């Protein structure tokens, strides 16, 4: 089973997020980058499928992604392809670039994260499936391989799921919690050094969006309770008493 897995080097939403002075982008200072959380689950799932069914795992990153690709190699991916393209927020260009870059690869399955933790578009996977004209499923929480097919469960609202069967080759985007991603071991890091990380340049035309403005959302503020922990506790208890909750 040959698997291509997409991994993005993405800013952590928990890092310090500020608008740049041009008002059109996010200030990179203060941002902490790492493998996109959803992709971490996708890489783990790819490696597990390979461990069970054999084959090869090729990880693909768009833009600056060296650290993330190395991490994926250390987790157990076999080789990496880096596409040096700054697609910004435009998922269409990202998907098109990936399509071009993997055109010489043979694969049974493409795995991607449901979305990226920075822009939350949830587009690259399905756009790529559409461009490649292969069956797909999103927000998948379980994958089982059955000869030439996969049986997947995808997440619906309210705790429900739906089971679908897809012939291979197919593309799946995974939802968080599908597995427990492994830690990167020292041995893994050592072994990763000798693995191939190939750069593939591709030309993609213009995208379809242009950022006009990035800004902080207005928030309706809660009434803030201040003081030392004991004072806060007392005030909270008073609120609960007033409401008859204790």
Partner 1 sequence: MRVFAVAEINFGELDPVSVELLNLANTIKGDGSAEAVVIGSSISSHAEKLAKYADKVWKIEDASLENYNPELYVDVLLQLFQKEKPDVVLIANSSRGSEYAPLLATKLNAPIVTDIVGLDVSDGVKATRYIFQGKLLVDVLVKQADTYVFTVRQGVFKEEKQASGEVVDAGIKPSVTPKREFSQIIEPEAGEVDITQADIIVSVGRGIEDASNIELAEELAELLGGVVAGSRPVIDNGWLPKDRQVGISGKTVKPKLYLALGISGAFQHIMGMKDSELIIAINKDPEAPIFGVAQYGVVGDIFEVVPALIDKLREIKG
- Chain residues that interact with ligand FAD, rule: CB under 6 A: 14, 114-115, 139
CB 171 within 8 A of CB 3: no
Q: Which of residues 67-96 bind partner 1 (CB under 8 A)?
A: 89, 92
Extract the tokens encoding 175. Answer: 């939802």
Of 114 and 174, CB closest to ligand FAD: 114
CB 83 within 8 A of CB 98: yes
Q: Which of residues 151-180 bind partner 1 (CB under 8 A)?
A: 151, 153-167, 170, 175-177, 180
26 binds, among ligand FAD, partner 1, none (CB under 5 to 8 A by kind): partner 1
Of 13 and 167, CB closest to ligand FAD: 13
Q: Does 188 bind partner 1 (CB under 8 A)?
A: no
Q: Does 11 bind partner 1 (CB under 8 A)?
A: yes
Of 186 and 222, CB closest to partner 1: 222
212 binds, among partner 1, ligand FAD, none (CB under 5 to 8 A by kind): partner 1
Q: Please, what is the minimum distance in Å from the beta carbon of residue 16 to ligand FAD? A: 11
Angle at 162 between CA 153 and CA 99, to 5 degrees: 55
Q: Could you give the 3-state DSSP secondary structure of residue 24? A: coil
CB 53 within 8 A of CB 47: no
Nearest to 45 by CA among 175, 137, 146, 154: 175
CA distances from 221 to 34, 218, 236 (A): 31, 9, 17
Q: Which of residues 115-134 bind partner 1 (CB under 8 A)?
A: 117-123, 126-127, 129-131, 134
Nearest to 80 by CA among 66, 91, 94: 66
Of 185 and 233, CB closest to partner 1: 233
Extract the tokens encoding 30. Answer: 């203060």
Of 79 and 121, CB closest to partner 1: 121
Q: Does 148 bind partner 1 (CB under 8 A)?
A: no
């Amino acid at each position: 089973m040959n698997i291509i897995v997409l991994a993005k080097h993405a800013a952590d939403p928990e890092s310090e997020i500020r608008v740049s002075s041009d008002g059109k982008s996010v200030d990179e200072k203060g941002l902490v980058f790492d493998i996109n959380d959803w992709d971490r689950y996708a890489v783990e799932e790819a490696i597990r499928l390979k461990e069970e069914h054999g084959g090869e795992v090729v990880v693909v990153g768009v833009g600056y992604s060296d650290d993330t690709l190395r991490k994926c190699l250390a987790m157990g991916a076999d080789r990496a392809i880096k596409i040096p393209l700054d697609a910004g927020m435009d998922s269409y260009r990202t998907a098109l670039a990936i399509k071009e870059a993997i055109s010489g690869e043979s694969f049974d399955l493409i795995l991607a994260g449901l979305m990226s933790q920075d822009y939350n578009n949830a587009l690259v996977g399905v756009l790529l499936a559409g461009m490649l004209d292969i069956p797909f499923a999103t927000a998948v929480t379980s994958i089982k391989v059955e000869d030439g097919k996969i049986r997947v469960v995808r997440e619906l609202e309210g705790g429900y799921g739906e089971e679908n069967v897809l012939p291979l080759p197919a593309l799946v985007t995974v939802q968080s919690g599908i597995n427990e991603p492994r830690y990167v071991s020292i041995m893994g890091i050592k072994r990763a050094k000798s693995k191939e990380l190939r750069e593939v340049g591709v030309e993609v035309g213009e995208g379809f969006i242009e950022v006009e403005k990035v800004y902080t959302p207005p928030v309706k503020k809660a009434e803030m309770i201040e003081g030392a922990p004991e004072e806060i506790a007392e005030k909270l208890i008073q609120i609960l008493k007033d409401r008859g909750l204790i």
